[in-house]
Structure 1
Amino acid sequence: MQNSATPTHCPYCALQCGMNLTPAPEGTVEVSERADFPVNRGALCGKGRTAPAVLSSRVRLTSPLVRSEGTLVPASWEEALDRIAENVVRTRTEHGPDACGVFGGGGLTNEKAYTLGKFARVVLGTSQIDYNGRFCMSSAAAAGIKAFGLDRGLPFPLEDIPKTGCVILVGSNLAETMPPSLRFFHELRENGGTLIVVDPRRTKTAEQADLHLAPRPGTDLALALGLLHLVVAEGRTDEEYIRERTTGWEDARAEALAHWPEYVERITGVAVPELREAVRMFCEPENAMVLTARGPEQQSKGTDTVGAWINLCLATGRAGRPLSGYGCLTGQGNGQGGREHGQKADQLPGYRKLDDPAARAHVAEVWGVDPDSLPGPGRSAYELLDALGTDIKSLLLMGSNPVVSAPRAAHVEERLKSLDFLAVCDVVLSETAALADVVLPVTQWAEETGTTTNLEGRVLLRRQAITPPEGIRSDLEVMHELAGRLGVEKGFPTDPEEVFEELRRASAGGVADYSGITYRRLVEENGVFWPCPAATAEEPDDGEDSALDAPPEDVEPLGVHPGTPRLFLDRFATPDGRARFVPVAHRATAEEPDDAYPVLLTTGRVVAQYQSGAQTRRVDELNAAAPGPFVELHPRLAARLGAAEGDPVAVVSRRGRAVAPARITTGIRPDTVFMPFHWAGEGRANTLTNPALDPTSRMPEFKSCAVRLEAVATPGGVPSSPRP
């Protein structure tokens, strides 16, 4: 590869921050500022700055591994791939194609996600495919489709945030999850706008807010309905907008009026004066936004909760207008693109529905198969994991670590162990990979080219900066080799640009239409927002050059669609062009506190670790900043337990027990404890979490479950105190 700096993007969160990479000794790269990318303007968090550390052979996988007499041992690629193919054939022969499962990841590039969905349906013939992005923003996606007819994380670019008048940020701690994005909110306040943060904890983000609302976990739905009640009662609805651009208002209005402020205060713990102040701050400016994240979404009523916040935007005329709207802050690096192109159980490329005959026909034609050969929708992520070892006998897992990240994680770990066969593709030996029968070492972000789609719906090109070590192959090569061994010789190219060209055709005419996007455009334009239909006239062909090369200066593309940075300005993506109010009512969480489990647990992230920690926990600098799990609790709760700062505390739910040091702070509600979910072992937060599913999105209820606290014996063998 070239020795000059390569412009590319961070491998972690959905900001997909721009960075430059320069080859460095020992096969790694040096990161430098890339100020031209508008999302981060050169700024990087610690994870982005240290991302090259995982390229080191000291922490990564360097050879295929196969299980021999209970132990994973190095093997050749031929042996490892043959073993996978043999076990797939055996599973299909003995149990049928749906006994083969596939589990993907929200960090896979669009090309990999597209190919994985195609591999599952064309090569394996299985309906049993989903991905960990189901745990990310599926509730927001479901609510957005109900209301707007289309789901894209943000329907506007981040650069619009500083220009609006007020932002309500619900269940997001951007200061730790996406630090470079916080500058947009600082600029909002510098411009005279206001920030309202909704979070049961006084996080670093909440400390930046003009108003912090701290509801009891699992009550965000009631909070949104209470705010809408006050909007109606105070005459702050936009009647002209409601009449001209929406449907269904009367039913939604009736539900909101049933959630009067004092009732909402009893449910949420948020005082009525704070509710009134939030409504004033949101409604007085000409423009305003609501942004949600995992807090309201990772609930068994997450779709309805997000729908209530969308209703608040619609009632006040704050959607489909410049500098106003509802948006979802996607979490995973390619959480948006990862579900648009086929690795989700019910979707085909272009965000098409798998049970739509026209969609099946279109994609089948691109793939060169009979539409009737495509399986129907399969299980959602947790349901798929729960079926391992029963209906599903073998699993191919790519880019995910559910032993740490899945709800009721101890149960999921047992289900993985019960499989007849497990194959994992990863860059490190994660806790999940350690259970596998075959582990394949694959290329990383700096060693391969491919596209991702960030939280704005901006399609980006990550460019290869260095050559991968000898013996490492890409996920595309893995699927190509397996497809050949399983009797499908064509249709699984290893060149990512060739895959993207097919993806363009498969997505054409779909909701997420990428057909007008090319690698060349992504280089020249610093990303393109979907939907972007194909050009109205052919782009010029400059011969044999790669699309990554600059076109001749004297040739101008004609009729090229510019992409769509801002959605819904003229109409919504519904048949009649109107947004739909969806009436929703508050209901309790799936698991409320009781005498046996009197405290609520909520989970989240810390700035120095990412998701399951499989990669970041291998970086010395990040481990020094965040060395392990902890239990955050209020001083009153700590006093009842008899726990001091740093004392080990056991958190027990109906699903298991986790132990971690106490972190005592007044920044959390006295009825709530918080644990970050990045670690395995004794402090694994997801041992505790509840897999109760949202009926629409199938999102598990990560953000609220009932627990009790127990004192843990000190080194002298004496418990510090009985549980509260």
Structure 2
Amino acid sequence: MSDFLKGFREREYQQNSEYLHETQCPFCSMQCKMNLHEDRSMQKTRYKVTPLKSDPVSEGRLCPKGIFSFKHALSSARLRTPMLKVEDSFVPVSWEKAYHWLSQKITSVQEKYGKNATSVYGSGALTNEKAYLLGKFSRVALETKYIDYNGRFCMSSAAGASNQAFGVDRGLTNPLSEIEDAECIILAGTNVAECQPTMMPYFRRVKANGGKIIVIDPRVTPTSKFADLHLKVKPGMDAALVNGMLKVIVDEDFIDHSFVEKYVEGGANLLAFARTIDLNEVERITGVAKDQIIEAARLYGKATTGMVFTARGVEQHAGGVNTVRNFINLVLMTGKIGKQGSGYGTITGQGNGQGGREHGQKTDQLAGYRSIEDMEARNHIAKVWGVKESSIPGKGVSAYEMFEKILEQEIRGMIVLGSNPVVSNPNTNLVKSALGKLDFLVVIDTLMSETAELADLILPGSTYLEEEGTMTNLEGRVILRKATKKLPGEARLDWKILCEISELLGKERFFSYTSSEEIFEELRQATKGGIADYAGITYKRIDEEKGVFWPCPSESHPGTPRMFVDGRFHHENGKARVTPIAHQYPKERIDEEFPLTLTTGRILQHYQTGVQTRITSELNKISEPFLEIHPTTASQIGLVDKEKARICSRRGEMTLKVKFSSGIREDTVFVPFHWEGKQSINQLTLPALDPQSKMPEFKACAVRVTALETEAVDSMTEVVNMSK
């Protein structure tokens, strides 16, 4: 844009009392487009948000989080200047002083302990441009192998399963518009009605068309209430449940034999394995009645078209990859993929959970979903970056394991961008302890998160309203989010901060970008020929076409809304892969001391660790932390509804207000994870990791729940006995 046009628009803005900004919600993977209305006609500027009717994804809908999404970005609590910790207090400093301090810290640590003593921790909420740049920054500017991101806790198990089964990982194999064409839908471990509310109308159309919805969840949720069949499985027992369904599908011959023979590898082994499954045993270990398992299998097996969707409830386990593989086994053995209304999808949690895992934030990955251990991939990226292949570090460790490396003193410094690991990680007491041992912790963020409070240096970054960039939604549709507001105070664009730090380290020639679009142009080169190929996607195309689906290898390519339409998958032989999955159990089993299973999740009003939504009074006053428990279980313990109780695991304990629900299993309790400090449930969760994806076991650990009044009586009795 010319200086004249910029000046004209600025004058026009100053003359208007009302202004309309087109943007999109920063939260979940639907990435709903919306309008931000700014009314400056009164003494205090007023804002409100309305949905954009022309959005092909949201179709003109917003959820409560979206309606109030401007609150955190325009809050007086925004970080506006660099803050340096001096004697346990933060002191505002200039950018020059902040950068001088940081360059000295990085140089000192790397001179003493080596390049890998520094680390980077990213986010699934970053734009594609920032995710790509962060991967390049860590490997070229810092020259460290230690980079990972919070998406490790979101999509990694589904990503691993999809790569193994299909040879490619794109969240949904079909566009959202095809959901209504499915005769049967399986929603496994997902509460769409609360986590992705604007997606629900797609499923309502399935029912309007006469289709069936099956929900697999240990709890009754707004989503399960909508379903035709709810399988209330024990937490962590989903793979065994699928084995029961496979048994019925094989015995009653709902297999698409011609599809399996032509397009699937391993079908004979899986058929043989399924025949050995004992349905009575499946009923016993899953807690789901055999009749319900049979009904679910028949509904899905008989359907001509069907889709299976998984989410964190089945993925956030130490056996998450194999569990998702088993759900994909259902899809492939019935041939329900590659055609309209048939496919598989993982319902991405974070705003850019899809794009964030494609471009180099993961420790084992380079842009385009390339493996960092693949020599051809390394050579390609080295050429794009203008560096020697040998200078690109190898694979580091996953997100949680980085904190273990800090405790081992192998990592001495960390830069965190747009993430809050103090709340999002399992076993958060270990994470806090690790961060306290760092020689330096730098946080680039927009608000004072619980992680920022522990930092040595905070650098004020940018929100979705101030930065331009692309996001890739849950369908694999690449969309463009334009900047609409100026940065507050001395805050800077995140990507510019990374470039400026690179300049401090003498690497400015590799980071001389002048715009987000310029970064995207390099990303296009970097992804060309990769699994996630963005080479044919441009800002202009995205704008004109309202998003472009990857893979898109050239500008003449239309993009790929539906995957595998030719029956060819992304393995060398062109076939998909199925494999027998044995019954799986939670890594931590209940016992007399810890007789209940804790599972965690999200609620409608809040997003992830809550930093952006807890700042909104309208959302806070209708939500608070709670412990959901079955009334029968509660009565045995002596709990009172809406009173507080203590919940303990082998890693910690906390008190929470009790919420009775007859919809949850009697052997299970549920706590949302959006709160911090003493209200953070991740103090208790289990850090056991999936050996393939390194996903922690968030969704199942053994706990004990006790009434506070009972504890007080027991304590008094002990004192009396001692006095005797």
Q: Distance in 1 between matches of 2:540 and 2:490?
A: 30
**Aligned partner of 1:698 among 672, 685, 694:** 694
Match of 2:97 in 1: 79
TM-score (norm. length: structure 2): 0.94
In the alignment, the residues of structure 2 paired with residue 366 and residue 8 of structure 1 have an alpha-carbon distance, to the nearest angstrom, of 31
Quote the residue 1:478 is aligned against.
497
Q: 1:440/1:196 Cα in 2 relative to 1: closer, same or farther (>3 Å)?
A: same
Distance 1:186 1:150 in 2: 29
In structure 1, C-alpha distance between the alignment counterparts of 2:33 and 2:621, rounded to whole Å: 25
Aligned partners of 2:236 and 2:584 also within 8 Å: no
Structure 2 partner of 1:495? 515
The offset of 1:321, in angstroms, is 2.3
Q: Deviations over 1:20-57 (max 9, x none)?
A: 23444478853222011121111101111101111234
Residue 625 of structure 1 pairs with residue 640 of structure 2: no
Q: Where do 1:344-363 residues align within 5 Å?
A: 344-363=362-381
1:48-68 CA-to-partner distances (Å, cap 9, x unmatched) read: 110111123422111111010
Q: What is residue 438 of structure 1 aligned with on the other side? A: 457
Note if 1:394 corresponds to 2:413. Answer: yes
Contact 2:146 2:363 (C-alpha < 8 Å) held by counterparts: yes
1:294 aligns with 2:312: yes
Counterpart secondary structure, 1:162: helix
Q: CA shift at 1:681, angstroms?
A: 2.0
Pick the aligned partner of 2:667 from 671, 682, 695. Answer: 671
Distance in structure 2 (CA, Å) of the matches to 1:365 and 1:406: 36
Q: Distance in 2 between matches of 1:191 and 1:595?
A: 48
Indicate the residue corresponding to 1:551 in structure 2: none
Q: Matches of residues 214-363 of structure 1 in structure 2 within 5 Å?
A: 214-363=232-381
* C-alpha distance after superposition, 1:262-305 (max 9, x if no partner): 11101101001001110111122210111000011000100000
Q: Give the share of equivalent positions with the same residue, in percent.
A: 48
1:515 aligns with 2:512: no
Q: 1:494 to 1:416 in 2, by over 3 A?
A: farther
Structure 2 unaligned residues grouped into runs of 5+: 1-5, 14-18, 718-724
- Partners of 2:430 and 2:229 lie apart in 1 by 40
Query: Which of 558, 564, 576 matches 1:562?
Result: 558
SS at match of 1:445: coil
| CA-to-aligned-CA distance 1:619-641 (integer Å, 9 cap, x gap) | 11110121x21100001111011
Question: Offset at 1:720?
Answer: 12
Secondary structure (helix, strand or coil) at the match of 1:565 reads coil
Superposed CA deviations along residues 358-394 of structure 1, whole A, max 9, x for unmatched, are: 0000011000000000000110111112222421000
Task: Give, as a single letter, the amino acid of the residue that structure 1 aligns with 2:682.
Answer: N
SS in structure 1 of the partner of residue 68 of structure 2: helix
Tell me, in whole angstroms, the C-alpha distance in 2 between the residues paired with 1:533 and 1:298.
33
> Which secondary structure state, in structure 2, belongs to the residue aligned with residue 608 of structure 1?
coil
Partners in 2 of 1:101 and 1:255 — Cα distance?
A: 44
**Selected match of 1:597 from 594, 598, 609:** 594
Q: Residues of 1 paired with 2:526 and 2:113: CA distance?
A: 31
Measure how far apart 1:84 and its partner are: 1.4
Give the AA of the match of 1:138. S
- SS of the equivalent of 2:354 reads helix
Q: Secondary structure at the match of 2:91?
A: strand
Q: Please list the CA deviations of residues 152-172 of structure 1 after superposition, one character each: whole Å capped at 9, or x if unmatched.
A: 000111111111100000000
Aligned residue for 1:205, secondary structure, equals: helix
Deviations 1:587-637 (A, max 9, x none): 2211010111110000000100100001100011110121x2110000111
Counterpart in the other structure of 1:13: 28
**How has the CA–CA distance of structure 1 residues 482 and 717 changed in structure 2, closer, same or farther, with 3 Å as cutoff?**
same
Tell me the residue number matched to 2:704. Answer: 708
Aligned to 1:549: none
2: CA distance between counterparts of 1:428 and 1:585? 45
Judged with a 3 Å threshold, the aligned counterparts in structure 2 of structure 1 residues 246 and 503 are, in CA distance, closer, same or farther, namely same
Q: Distance in 1 between matches of 2:232 and 2:96?
A: 56
CA distance in 2, matches of 1:196, 1:456: 21
Residue type of the partner of 1:410?
Answer: N
What does the per-residue CA deviation read over 1:138-196, in whole Å, with 9 as the maximum and x for residues that have no partner? 11110101110000000111111111100000000011101110111111100111100
Q: How does 1:577-596 map to 2 (within 5 A)?
A: 577-596=574-593
Q: Which residue of 2 aligns with 1:552?
A: none
Contact between 2:639 and 2:706, CA under 8 Å: does it hold in 1? no
2:400 is matched with 382
CA distance in 1, matches of 2:221, 2:194: 9
Letter in 1 for 2:577: R
Aligned residues: 696
> Structure 1 CA distance, aligned partners of 2:45 and 2:400?
38
Structure 1 regions of 5+ residues with no counterpart? 536-559
Partner of 1:95: 113
Distance 1:139 1:253 in 2: 24
CA gap 1:70/1:148 in 2 versus in 1, 3 angstroms: same
Contact 1:449 1:462 in 2 (8 A): yes
**Residues 531 and 501 of structure 1: CA distance in aligned 2, closer, same or farther (over 3 Å):** same
CA-atom RMSD, angstroms? Answer: 1.6
Are the equivalent residues in 2 in contact too, given 1:605–1:676 (CA < 8 A)? yes
Counterparts of 1:719 and 1:530 in 2: how far apart (Å)?
62
Mean Cα deviation higher: 363-372 or 279-288: 279-288
**In structure 1, how many angstroms separate the alpha carbons of the residues matched to 2:21 and 2:390?**
44
Structure 2 residue 478 is the aligned partner of structure 1 residue 459: yes
Give CA deviations for 1:692-713 in whole Å, capped at 9, x if unaligned: 1111111000000001112224
The 2-side partners of 1:603 and 1:6 are apart by 36
- Measured after TM superposition, the shift of residue 719 of structure 1 is 7.3
Letter of the 2:375 partner, please give it.
P
Moved more, 173-182 or 33-42: 33-42
1:685 aligns with 2:681: yes
Once residues 490 and 507 of structure 1 are traced to their aligned partners in structure 2, the CA distance between those partners, rounded to angstroms, is 21
Counterpart position of 1:543? none
Task: Verify: 1:125 aligned to 2:143, yes or no.
Answer: yes
Q: Please report how far the alpha carbon of residue 575 of structure 1 lies from its aligned counterpart in structure 2 after TM superposition.
A: 1.1
Structure 1 counterpart of 2:283, which letter?
E
SS of 1:625's equivalent in the other structure is: coil
Q: Distance in 2 between matches of 1:53 and 1:7?
A: 16
3-state SS of the aligned residue for 1:661? Answer: strand
Q: Distance in 2 between matches of 1:425 and 1:721?
A: 49
Deviation at 1:467, TM superposition (A): 1.2
Q: Deviations over 1:504-546 (max 9, x none)?
A: 00011100011111111111111100001123xxxxxxxxxxx
Measured against aligned partners, the alpha-carbon deviations of 1:210-262 in whole angstroms (never above 9, x if no partner) come to 00000000000000111001101111111111111111112222332332211
1:65 equivalent to 2:83? Answer yes
Distance 1:700 1:75, change over 3 A: same
Secondary structure of the 1:611 match is coil
Q: CA deviation at 1:6?
A: 3.5
Q: CA deviation at 1:76?
A: 1.0
**What CA distance in whole angstroms lies between the structure 2 residues aligned with 1:648 and 1:412?**
27
Deviates more, 1:312-321 or 1:193-202: 312-321
The one-letter code of the counterpart of 2:395 is P
Question: What amino acid does structure 1 have at the position aligned with 2:209?
Answer: N
Instruction: Give CA deviations for 1:671-724 in whole Å, capped at 9, x if unaligned.
Output: 00000000012221101110111111110000000011122249x9657999xx
The alpha carbon displacement at 1:444 in A equals: 0.5
Q: Is the 8 A contact 1:8 1:461 kept in 2?
A: no
Greater Cα shift, 306-315 or 74-83: 74-83
Alignment match, 1:644:
640
**In the aligned structure 2, how far is the partner of 1:442 from the partner of 1:718?**
51
Amino acid at match of 2:626: F
